Amino acid sequence: MTLLFFLLGACTPSPTAPTDTDATDTATTPSPRGLLAVDNGRSQLLFLDDDLSVGWTAPLAPGPRDLALVEDRVLVSDAGGATWHALADGTELSRVPSPEPGVQSAQPTAQGGVRFAVDTGAGVWWIDVDASGAETGRIALDGVTDLRLLRTLPDGHVLLTASDPYRVEERDADGLVVTELPLPGKGYLATRTDDGRTLATTGADLALVTFAPDGTVERRWQGSADDGLDWFSGFDHDAATGDTWIANWLGHNAWGTGPHLIRVDADGAIVETWEDHEAALQITHVLRVGGR
């Protein structure tokens, strides 16, 4: 299958190289290399080794969806909060409860706490908490429906996707809309590159859209049901190679019918897939680890 594709994006920063003064006779443990994936069908976190075999799994509370990697720890959201896990083996290190139910997204804050994106059915907020789960602030996201993942930008603004109409929203630190970008279908994740481009996935539309800094559509990569693709959710783009890993969520009675993860290169070809229906049911998000 031939696909037209081009993406520019920000890759996960690599660890800081040691200086000469750091050198000792003590051996260091190399960082693992592979993929992290959230399976919300079986409420588990998976680490896939470099050869895409399952390295370890860890149980999660119901409703997991979002992922964040901070050095050797992994933050995973669930319906009632988030848990920190050891990257080495998935061991749960601590839990951060949410002040409100209905957590859709969780990301670490610069202050050492967690920012939750919450949809209770009665309202949508982002809520900041400290490491113990004590609330330190919240912002109402009026007019947002179908909230999924939320990302905080360096200037304190946030990116999210919403419905009616389908769009990417950028909101300022007070929750006010700064920019709206139209999407061809129901959105899931939106991210911003260092050069100002915005990337977003759409679910059933099977698209990964790149907006130029001025808001115009620069590129649109279109997946196909002929490749077993059903619903695009989270993704991780590598600017260095142009490759993008995309989670193909297999809900809506699509269990066992296609790949859980696909890797698309800069030319638009699907060059690698992961499909193991014994190991996983439906993957919502994926992150590269160690430059995978």
Three-class SS state of 131: coil
Q: Specify the pLDDT at position 28.
A: 56
H-helix or E-strand spanning residue 178: strand 177-182
Quick one: CA torsion of 108, 210, 262, 146, rounded to 10 degrees? 60
pLDDT of residue 240: 83
The residues, any chain, with a CB within 8 Å of residue 138's CB and separated by 6 or more, are 99, 125, 126, 127, 128
Lowest-pLDDT range, 22-31, 83-92, 169-178, 190-199?
22-31
Which pLDDT belongs to residue 8?
A: 36
Sole residue written with tokens 């896990």: 85
pLDDT of residue 48: 98
How far apart CA 135 and CA 160 sit, in angstroms, is 21
Q: What is the pLDDT of residue 161?
A: 98
Residue 219 above 50 pLDDT?
yes
Residue 24 has pLDDT above 80, yes or no: no
What is the homologous superfamily of the domain 31-289 according to CATH?
Answer: TolB, C-terminal domain (2.120.10.30)
17 or 229: which leads in pLDDT: 229
Q: For position 247, what pLDDT does the model report? A: 98
Q: Name 57's bridge partners.
A: 46
The average pLDDT across 99-123 equals: 96
Asked whether 155 and 171 are in contact (CB, 8 A), the reply is no
Going by pLDDT thresholds of 50, 70 and 90, the confidence category of residue 26 is very low
Is the model more confident about 70 or about 242? 70
| Mean pLDDT computed over 68-76 | 98
Span 119-137, average pLDDT: 96
Q: Give mean pLDDT, residues 153-169.
A: 97
> Does the pLDDT at position 73 exceed 90?
yes
What is the arithmetic mean of pLDDT over 5-33? 46
**Global confidence as pTM:** 0.89
Count each helix (H run) and each strand (E run) in the chain, helices first.
0, 24
Question: Rounded to whole angstroms, how far apart are CA atoms 134 and 136?
Answer: 6
Is it true that the peptide bond before 165 is cis, omega within 30 degrees of 0?
A: yes
The chain-wide mean pLDDT, for the chain, equals 90
Contact 246, 201 (CB under 8 A): yes
Mean pLDDT within 101-107: 98
